[in-house]
Each structure stands twice: as structure tokens, then as C-alpha cells.
Structure 1
Amino acid sequence: MSSPIYIQIHNKIKQTIESGQWKIGDRIPAERDLAVQFGVSRMTLRQAVQTLVDEGILERHVGSGTFVARQKVQERMSSGVTSFTEIIESQGKQASSKTISYLVTMPSISESEKLHLINGEKVLRMERIRYADDLPICFEVATLPYNLIKDYERAQISASLYKTLEEHGLSIGHAEQTVSATSAPERIADYLDVKRGAAILRLRQTTSLSDGRPFEYVRTQYVGERFEFYLAK
């Protein structure tokens, strides 16, 4: 089983950066030039680049192009792991999801690193729009080790993964989270019913079970005016 073309391009670009050929702060070639180089459509190339942007490896500068991302100042957030469903329901709202894609495939390099996978291990990659009372709140790409969830029904995973795991005797442990600000590209704007360029809060999270095994790598884009992060110490 091979990875989708855009994931293969993602991997090649990431390897180019890690090899030092493209350094932090460098502007990468234009999408049309990269599309020609890789022999793919601009749409496929754009999807690969956007995936790297969502992971914080690349960053777009409006009017200037796309650059290898600089290291950002970070402050550790401390909070318990709470699912989207639990957060929304705790505020008296109805949580729901719409699954955009649901694919068992080979992982990208980034997904393998985050989930500590060995060569040949497959993943489930799932794209969803998450709602509160039918209002779109975020677009989420979740990657899970396939061996962990292969015996579960699709509805058990897409409706409330954390609840399903706990019902099967698996305890949720800790999460590592990174939050940054960005603007909504056209595809995400359409999904979230906002204007292109609207303020977006981007969360990258790796969640582990209580035994330390990472089981979820999520890239989520929240509508800035509909969601805020609050951490109590």
C-alpha cells in the first residue's frame, strides 16, 4: 500500500528541509515550479504544501510566498486531556461531526515520528468538520495507528474516539499541544463557513495513552471568533 501522492511530496519536501538544502527562513520555490518538478497538478502540490503549513514546518507570508518556518517561542500548557465532544457538551451545546475523508494508508514522515511507528505500519487518517449546535467550529485531521483501532467500527471512531477507547479499557494519558495563529485558506474557509483569510487558531496535538503510547496526532484549525483556549493553573 502506497501513500497518496500529496503525502509522498510532503515527505520529499520535509526531507529536503531536514537535509539542510532548504534552511529556516528560506523561501521555497513557487507552487507552479514545484508542481512541474514533481510532475503533479498544482492542486496536488498545494495540498502537500498546506499539510506542511498545518504541521508548522512551512509558513505562508501573504504577498511574499511560502517559507521554511522559524522556531517559535513556546510556553508549555498544562491541562487535562479533554475531547472536543466533552468540551462542547460541558457548555450545554450539542456536539456533532461531518467526516470528509476516512482513509487507511501509509503514514507521512511526520505522522510516523509523532506516533512512534515502525516501517510498514499503517494509519487511519480522518478529516472531519466539528460542530457545536450545527455551527462549524473547527476542521480536524486526525491520524491514528491502524493496529490500535482496526477492530472498531467507523462510527465508534468518528463519533467519539476517546469514549470508545475508554469503553474498551484504554486510559487516556497526557497530550503535547502547540497553538499558533494563521488565516483560513480557501478550502478551510469553505468548510468552516468563513471568509478566506479569516483568523484561525491552529492546534497541533499528540495524545498518548496512560502507558505512554501515542495514539493520536491531530492538526485542528479553529474559527478564531468561535473558539478560545482557556487553561486554569
Structure 2
Amino acid sequence: MIDKNSPIPVYYQLKEDIKKKIANGVWKVGQCIDSERELSESYGVSRMTIRQALGELVQEGILIREKGKGTFVCEPKVKQKDMMSFSNIISKLGGNLNTEVLGFEIIDTPEDMQEIFPFEKLYRIDRMRIVDGENIANEIVYIPCDYCGYIDEDLLKGSLFEILEGFGYTIDYSQSSIKAVVMDDYYKKLFKVDKNVPLLNIYSKTITKNGKILFVEESIYRSDKFLLEVDISTREGKFR
């Protein structure tokens, strides 16, 4: 299983083999994998190498360590890295996505959004995104009525990106802020869970190719089911 003469690092070979075993059902979601000692003996490598491989799998969200209990296989998460609609992400992962429209109304533009949207009326769209039967994300979107053609609840069960692209907009990027949210009775009811689960609040402005803020979205995600990867870099000369 491990070729110590290969130019590929041993820990990486080990990591890939553990991932293959998980994919093949040797260790199932929620199951405790072999201990470091057992893995060291079965693979014939040092415990330090085992620890490095397991550490990277924990960082990747494939495994989770529970103190005093062992290392367990995580449930696969919805993973978002690039600018892509939630619908497209789930489609690429092969998941089954349903969208429940919890609210769809025309409102007066809130005072704190009047600088962003100098319009009298906004659509307020409240949707629950359900993946493989579990409530994963609650999205509340604000978009000027003037930006849209005809929208109804049936259309909103699909991709909002596709709806807006149909109106001639080309989405370029989004600006987001992320913070943790404490689970309470309201969120337990919203996500239909009876236990505390970690939540993320993501507030974002989605911007078109010509620099127009197209819509504002405030979403709550179950972070035990959703992973957002953010790449941060600096341009030369920006920081001194």
C-alpha cells in the first residue's frame, strides 16, 4: 500500500489511501477509524507520519478528532470555493437540492440599505435550501424591484443566478463578511434539529461586471454541512 521508494511523500500516500478506504466504505460516516498505533503497525510507518496524514485529513474536513474517543469520519460537507450559485454547487456534487420559499414580498427599502439601493422598493426573498432532505442554508436576499422582470415563487425554487442572468446581468464577484452564530431555539426550529449545531452568518454583496451591486444576501449556513474556502492574497506593493 505504501511505496517508501516513491518520490511521493509517505504521509501523502497514506492520506490518499485512507481517503480511498472511506470512499469504498471501509470506514463509514460517523465511524471511528483505527488508532494511530494500529495504523502505524498496519502501514509499517512511524506514528509521526500517521499523525501528519490524519492532521491534514482533519483540516480538510474529512476526519474529526474527539478527545478521549478517537478519530471519526465526518459527514461530507457542501464545499464552496469559487463564485458559483448554491444550485450549481449541489448539482456538481451530485446532491439532491430542494428550495422552499419561506417568504417573498415587496418592501420599502430599509434605511440601512438606502445608500446601496437608491430605490423605493425591494424584493425580500427568504429561502430555505434543503440538501438530501436536510435544511442546510437559510438565505434572505434583497434586490431592487427595478432590476428585475417577472419573478414568482416557482421561479425562486431554482437558481437566483440563472434568473438574473436571464435579465441580462453578468455576475462578477461578491464581497462577504463571515461570523459565527450561536444556536438557539429559533434556529433549531428553522433548521429542524433538536441539538446544537454550528452556524455561520455570511453577509454578502453580489456585484456585476460593470460594478453594480445587484443584490444583498444574508445567509445562515450549518457549518457542519457547509465549508466555505477563502483564498487571501496581497498584491505586490500594497502592504509595506
TM range (shorter): 0.5 to 0.7
**1:105 matched residue in structure 2:** 107
**1:155 matched residue in structure 2:** 154
> Are 1:206 and 2:205 an aligned pair?
yes
**Across the two proteins, how many residue pairs are aligned to each other?**
152
Aligned residue identity for 1:141: I
Q: Is the 8 A contact 1:111 1:143 kept in 2?
A: no
Distance 1:134 1:182 in 2: 23
> Are 1:96 and 2:95 an aligned pair?
no
Give the RMSD, CA atoms, in angstroms: 2.0
Give how far 1:154 is off. Answer: 3.6
Distance 2:203 2:129 in 1: 16
1:128-147 matches, cutoff 5 A: 128-147=127-146
Aligned residue identity for 1:166: E
Inter-CA distance 110–104: structure 2 relative to 1 (3 Å threshold): same
Give how far 1:147 is off. Answer: 0.9
**2:40 matched residue in structure 1:** none
Distance 1:205 1:181 in 2: 15
Distance 2:153 2:209 in 1: 23
Distance 2:218 2:82 in 1: 18
Q: Is the 8 A contact 1:85 1:95 kept in 2?
A: yes
Inter-CA distance 152–102: structure 2 relative to 1 (3 Å threshold): closer
**2:83 matched residue in structure 1:** 81
Distance 2:141 2:184 in 1: 19
Q: TM-score w.r.t. structure 2 length?
A: 0.58
Larger Rg: 2
Aligned residue identity for 2:165: E
| Worse-matched range after superposition: 180-189 or 146-155 | 146-155
Residue ranges of structure 2 left out of the alignment (5+ in a row): 1-80, 233-240
Give how far 1:158 is off. Answer: 4.2
Inter-CA distance 167–117: structure 2 relative to 1 (3 Å threshold): closer
Give how far 1:176 is off. Answer: 0.2
**1:224 matched residue in structure 2:** 223
**1:176 matched residue in structure 2:** 175
1:43-62 matches, cutoff 5 A: none
* Alignment deviations for residues 4-54 of structure 1 (CA, whole Å, 9 cap, x no partner): xxxxxxxxxxxxxxxxxxxxxxxxxxxxxxxxxxxxxxxxxxxxxxxxxxx
Give how far 1:186 is off. Answer: 2.1
**2:117 matched residue in structure 1:** 117
Q: TM-score w.r.t. structure 1 length?
A: 0.59
Give how far 1:167 is off. Answer: 2.8
Distance 1:83 1:142 in 2: 13
By relative contact order (CA 8 Å, sep 6+), the higher-ranking structure is 1
Give how far 1:155 is off. Answer: 2.6
